Amino acid sequence: MRFLTDRKRATGMGASKTGTEHHWSMQVSSIALLILVPLFVFTTGWIIGAPYEEVVAYYSRPFPAVIAALTFIVGMAHFKNGAQMAIEDYVHGLTGRLTIIGVTILSYAIAAFAVFSLIRLAL
């Protein structure tokens, strides 16, 4: 027989204390993407299919390059947070932790590769 109160049994098994921060970052990144994605589409849409020299000249200007870089960075951060929430809900144990690590590495790698490619294109 255990002589523990309900509160004592629940200690250490509650929230991870990062839910509010996680939710807030998802809200902020979704609002940022609400602004960035249309800007990205309008600034990049007409250059698709253009010759290489035109694309290089276009992304040598700061505004389209900054819009593209911000869209890549914020988009991948939003993807990482959303995927992490889904993985935490449905995958448990060591597999869940390894999957979260893999998704985090993948999202940072994609963002870094996209920004690096954009910098190489612009310079």
What pLDDT, on the 0 to 100 scale, is given for residue 106? Answer: 97
Q: Considering the domain boundaries, does residue 4 fall inside one? A: no
Residue span of the structural domain in which 67 resides: 21-122
One-letter identity of residue 9: R
What pLDDT, on the 0 to 100 scale, is given for residue 42? Answer: 95
- Rounded Cα distance between 103 and 81, Å, is 9
What pLDDT, on the 0 to 100 scale, is given for residue 11? Answer: 65
What pLDDT, on the 0 to 100 scale, is given for residue 99? Answer: 96
Which DSSP string do the residues of 51-84 spell out, in sequence order? -HHHHHHHHTSHHHHHHHHHHHHHHHHHHHHHHH
> Residue ranges of the chain with pLDDT lower than 50?
none
- Rounded Cα distance between 75 and 37, Å, is 9
What pLDDT, on the 0 to 100 scale, is given for residue 21? Answer: 83
Q: Considering the domain boundaries, does residue 14 fall inside one? A: no
Cβ atoms of 25 and 80 closer than 8 Å = no
If you search the block for the tokens 């992490």, which residue do you land on? 84
Q: Considering the domain boundaries, does residue 83 fall inside one? A: yes
Which DSSP string do the residues of 39-52 spell out, in sequence order? HHHHHHGGGTT--H
The CATH number for 89's domain is: 1.20.1300
What pLDDT, on the 0 to 100 scale, is given for residue 1? Answer: 53
Record the tokens describing residue 102, joined without a space: 């893999």
Domain count, the chain: 1
Q: Considering the domain boundaries, does residue 35 fall inside one? A: yes
Cα–Cα–Cα angle for 102, 113, 43, rounded to 5 degrees: 120
What pLDDT, on the 0 to 100 scale, is given for residue 23? Answer: 85
